[in-house]
Chains A and B, each alone.
Chain A
Amino acid sequence: MLLSDSDLQAIWLTLRLAGIVTAILFVVGTPVAWWLSRTRSRWKGPIGAVVALPLVLPPSVLGFYLLVAMGPNGPVGQLTASLGLGLLPFTFWGLVVASVFYSFPFMVQPVQSAFESIGERPLEVAATLRASPLDRFFTVALPLAAPGFLTAGILTFAHTVGEFGVVLMIGGNIPGVTRVASVQIYDHVEAMEYADAHRLSAVMVAFSFLVLLSLYAWRRNARGADGSHG
């Protein structure tokens, strides 16, 4: 099964996009998840709902608004233009920004529930052992939430790999810049290249299956280790 150069290029672009988005979301999503897991503010509900929006919105809606915001008359577009970065739509970094929004809940929600399941007690213990709030976060909350981070990372990565609608809205279909695997498959089908579409699709199916398989296998192992000392 041979993939063409353009297929390989699309796969590489996809992996790069998903990797960068996942890395950014670890940094951006963690504080949001921490805040949501600990706050008693009345803003918890509204902020939580905004974070979850991409789960229910059609990607084209999200993509449309992001396109408007990042366009020459949008606030983000004016900002990036004034910073000398140019406009983001139809660039790789435009895709990155859009994907960060699109995949946000896939990072925040597992991490948030991991933080919530820790409870207050270990953090109180750490406080009585002289750990400052920041110290407690890094030495107790993060290690205890590690399984949630792994789940979140895998889900975010896989979800970004699978996005299509937002990419089309923001990135168009520029080879080597914004043409990710899902768009490449769409192109193959449009051009009636069913054999090519099939090869790339099969790779995607295999990839997704392996990711989920390893996630479930790892979860079962982790639970098994927990169960032995219940």
Chain B
Amino acid sequence: MDDIAARFQLDWPGFRLDVDLTLPGRGVTALFGHSGSGKTTLLRCIAGLERSRQGFLSFKGEVWQDARTWLPTYRRPLGYVFQEASLFPHLTVLGNLRYGQKRIAADQRRSLDQAIELLGIGPLLARRPDRLSGGERQRVGIARALAVSPRVLLMDEPLAALDLKRKQEILPYLERLHDTLEIPVLYVSHSPDEVARLADHLVAMEGGRVLASGPLGETLARLDLPIRLGEDAGVVLDATVAERDAQWHLARVDFPGGSLWTRDQGQAIGQHVRVRVLARDVSLAAQHQEHTSILNLLPGRVDAMADDEHPGLALVRVRVGDSVLLARLTKRSAAALGVTPGQSLWVQVKSVALME
């Protein structure tokens, strides 16, 4: 019982939420969908800010809500980051941080130093929220949520209200959170980039229902309901920088089952990175190609094939070691190669995007 079980039904005029989910008790779970998909409402139900009449919620074995139980928000051991930082305007930054910290049991109280350091807000402590930039405010909001020593962190589109520059300012902090926090994080977002960078587990939502829920890589590689992060199908791999080639300015990253060469972007060897591989950049070949401009040739095995959006195109899921990639081919090429499940092929990856 180390996971989060959530069942909610809500009937509002013009909106219906109907979910039944089990979420992992660790890592970052992205609740992903368009606005109106119910992802924020789901998060608010988990926080106890909305109360569904039909509902069940257990957190690592503790029941927070069922037919007889209702734990009000202030009794739930969670931290919540709102879309706008929503700092208390009548308190300083430090006052905001302390507000929650002093309301938890003394033996669970941890020093604020870690949160302050993690979010880099040390120089801001004496300021009033109205003297902060949008990005600074959101960092304080995150630190304030962490200051209550939560057992789960809920984040409702923490970057959505910020412009691109501020987003780039905060994303590294979120990635640090991802690497340092031991508590599960539920992260609501409609941004493919944030999901690709941060999520370990993906819950795709539409119209108040869950389309798919599972580990990020697997879920993105599903062919039955292609979940698209952005305009194109593709997968995200967890990888480590293994080698840097100074002469050609390339870096080799290892992922479970293989390795890929990509442009060197200055990451140190051993650093954990995420690699996004779009289906349109992956092609298949029956034989090992000797003379090709493509650097990345991986042995793979066809897992499944499905129609793509265009009638002339197909999506092929290929297993490479323990990972899966998606390839987009014309149906004519697929027929020429005789693509069938179980077939061994060479996978050519033209380009990959390194994140972080």
Contact = CB atoms under 8 A, between A and B. Distances in A.
Contacts of A229: 130-131
B88 A122 contact: yes
Interface in A138-183: 139-140, 143-144, 146
Contacts of B79: 128
B78 A128 contact: yes
A128 B90 contact: no
B47 interface: yes
A129 interface: yes
Interface string B97-135: 001100110000000000000000000000000110000
Contacts of B148: 129-130
A127 B72 contact: yes
Contacts of B86: 121-122, 125
A130 B89 contact: no
Given A121-B82, A122-B88, A124-B49, A129 B103 contact: yes
A22 B180 CA distance: 54
Contact of A128 (B47, B84, B88, B89): B47
A130 B100 contact: yes
A128 B73 contact: yes
A130 B104 contact: yes
A130 B74 contact: yes
Contacts of A204: none
A120 to B, nearest CB: 9
B39 interface: no
A146 B88 CA distance: 14
A130 B148 CA distance: 8
Listed residue (B72, B74, B148) with the most chain A CB atoms within 10 angstroms of its CB: B74
A171 B9 CA distance: 61
Contact-residue size bin, chain B (C-beta under 8 Å from the other chain): 20 to 34
Given A143-B90, A144-B90, A127 B131 contact: no
A23 interface: no
A87 interface: no
A32 interface: no
B255 interface: no
Contacts, number: 60
Nearest to B47: A128
A126 interface: yes
Contacts of B48: 127
B88 A125 contact: yes
B80 A131 contact: no
A127 B82 contact: no
Contacts of B103: 129-131, 135
A129 B89 contact: no
A143 B48 CA distance: 25
Contacts of A130: 74-75, 100, 103-104, 148
Contacts of B130: 226, 228-229
A6 interface: no
Nearest to B150: A128
A132 interface: yes
B144 interface: yes
A25 to B, nearest CB: 23
A38 to B, nearest CB: 15
Interface in B174-192: none
Interface in B127-154: 130-131, 144-145, 148
Contacts of A131: 74, 99, 103
A132 B103 CA distance: 10
A127 B99 contact: no
Contact of A126 (B72, B75, B99, B145): B99
Interface of A: 121-122, 124-133, 135, 139-140, 143-144, 146, 226, 228-229
Given A124-B49, A143-B90, A144-B90, 14 more contacts: A121-B86, A125-B80, A125-B86, A127-B49, A129-B99, A129-B144, A129-B145, A130-B103, A131-B99, A140-B88, A144-B89, A146-B90, A226-B130, A229-B130
16 contacts: A121-B84, A124-B82, A127-B49, A128-B49, A128-B73, A128-B78, A129-B100, A129-B144, A129-B145, A130-B100, A130-B104, A131-B99, A132-B74, A133-B74, A135-B103, A144-B90
